[in-house]
Structure 1
Amino acid sequence: MKKNMKLEIFDERRCTLGEGPTSSGLKNSHVMWIDILSYKVLWRDIHSGEIGSFDTPAEVGFALPRENSGVVLGHASGATLREIDGTENPLPSWLEAESGPLAIPVRWNDAKVAPNGELFAGTMAFDGAKDAGSLYKFSRDGKQITKILSPVSISNALDWTPDGTTFYYVDTLTMQLDKFDYADSGITNRRTLVKFDESDGMP
């Protein structure tokens, strides 16, 4: 990793814990990100300079633009489809993919949309406890949730290769970037791509 990157302030609004930037719209000009601990989703239009934000009912782990309009939200109260008017329609709870109550309370953390339109999303403990979370996927119609990887600690950096055959994944406390073979049926053949040194910071 290059150590001489030049950093510039993109937005003056302070975040307690800012994460999860996405871009969408015309020429990807609409940039959206979350402030997890302030229960807030913020956005800024690169071209017009217009800014905005809205509050969430609990710690927000992800906010992803939907194909037509609105946002997919994941917060401590659950995952929802948020419409432009602010209405939120709930998605299935992670409890529907579990055999019983969880021993440690969790919240949604990072998430991304897979090449086939399914939503991959991970949970983590509020205090970051090791192996308290899992990785799930929601069906394209948002009616079903399936657990696909467990246990995990803190899901981050979900992504796919351009050809859609490889899935990248970071479980932060493992200090490594892993990759899986990916198909509509799920993820298989986990192997480590990069092992990070503590001096690099946590991935």
Structure 2
Amino acid sequence: MAILEYQVKATLGEGAIWNYKTQELYWVDIEGKKLNIYNPISKTNKVLNTTSRIGTVVPFTEKEAMVALEDGVHKMNLQTGASTLFTDMKSELPGSRLNDGKCDPAGRFWVGSMHLEQETAKANLYTITSENILQKKIDSVTISNGIVWTSDKKTMYYIDTPTSTIKSFDYNNETGEISNGKIAVEIPTSLGFPDGMTIDEENMLWVGMWNGNAVIRFNPKTGKVVSKIEVPAHNITSCAFGGENLDILYITSASVDMTAKEIEKYPLAGSVFKVKPGVKGVKSNFYIENKPTK
């Protein structure tokens, strides 16, 4: 069972990622329009307000992070909270917003979208290369969510939430190309819907379960549930391994989309939780920018 780490009423907590260089947990409140930087040593949570809904965050430099906002990807100053548009995606996002994303082992930023009314097949998955070139990778997505890569850099796993599946793709780290997409895990809706995802050092997948009160560890080779961690919140949105030894799983949650009965049962909804699951994670990938040489 996961325990409370930081009590807060985030509307739609999401996008957990551990900055191993600063030993801080980055996470977002999408609907609250907030980037959070949580320090588990001091138990302090720094809040930086964003100009529109923030889908996800990835570490960039000591002073900046890359954040996915409604008009594209921005560089955000972690001291002041000021942000500057880096990749303009307005033409790609009519009636939509950016949602979850992460960097691949080569430092490209993969970020997906979702239609604001959650209309089927209206969203896509993109990459922003280290040269800031935008490429569409997968189309006809509904709610683009969790994404991870294996330690050998040969497989990418990806979640489009309403499909209740985790797909695997052959992945080329040199080019960023993906191919041979197929279903690796089929998830019964009785477990909830798959949302954000992280990967451990054994290449097993940890998935936050929306409507499922849990994080589930899946074996993508067999498609089976390996273990389940109950969380005292209803809609579990993302998770990330953190701590000095990457042996603590931090978990985000949401306080939206709950019945009166669920709100009564889960008063901590929206908070950040933690658990030591007995396995370690891997270091998160940072965005790498190649500035053109003159």
TM-score (norm 2): 0.62
User: What is the match of residue 65 of structure 1?
Assistant: 59
Distance in 1 (alpha carbons) for counterparts of 2:118 and 2:88: 20
Amino acid at match of 1:89: T
Matched, 1:160 2:149: yes
Kept in 2: contact 1:57–1:77 (CA 8 A): no
Q: Displacement, 1:63? A: 1.4
Answer 1 or 2: higher relative contact order, Cα 8 Å, separation at least 6: 2
User: What is the match of residue 139 of structure 2?
Assistant: 150
Tell me the matched-pair count.
191
Distance in 1 (alpha carbons) for counterparts of 2:83 and 2:14: 21
Q: Displacement, 1:95? A: 5.2
TM-align CA RMSD: 1.7
Amino acid at match of 1:107: R
Moved more, 62-71 or 34-43: 62-71
Distance in 1 (alpha carbons) for counterparts of 2:129 and 2:53: 24
User: What is the match of residue 3 of structure 1?
Assistant: none
Matched, 1:174 2:169: no
Distance in 1 (alpha carbons) for counterparts of 2:128 and 2:38: 28
% identical aligned pairs? 26
Amino acid at match of 1:113: C
Distance in 2 (alpha carbons) for counterparts of 1:179 and 1:55: 35
Kept in 1: contact 2:71–2:89 (CA 8 A): no
User: What is the match of residue 41 of structure 1?
Assistant: 35
TM-score (norm 1): 0.88
User: What is the match of residue 103 of structure 2?
Assistant: 113
- Alignment counterpart, residue 19 of structure 1, candidates 10, 14, 27: 14
- Distance change in 2, residues 1:177/1:90 (3 Å): same
- Distance change in 2, residues 1:125/1:145 (3 Å): same
User: What is the match of residue 128 of structure 2?
Assistant: 138
Which segments of 5 or more consecutive residues in structure 2 lack a partner in the other structure? 195-294
Q: Displacement, 1:25? A: 3.7
- Alignment counterpart, residue 189 of structure 1, candidates 165, 169, 180: 180
Which segments of 5 or more consecutive residues in structure 1 lack a partner in the other structure? 1-5
Structure 1 residues 86-101: aligned runs within 5 Å? 86-94=81-89
Kept in 1: contact 2:144–2:161 (CA 8 A): yes
User: What is the match of residue 76 of structure 1?
Assistant: 70
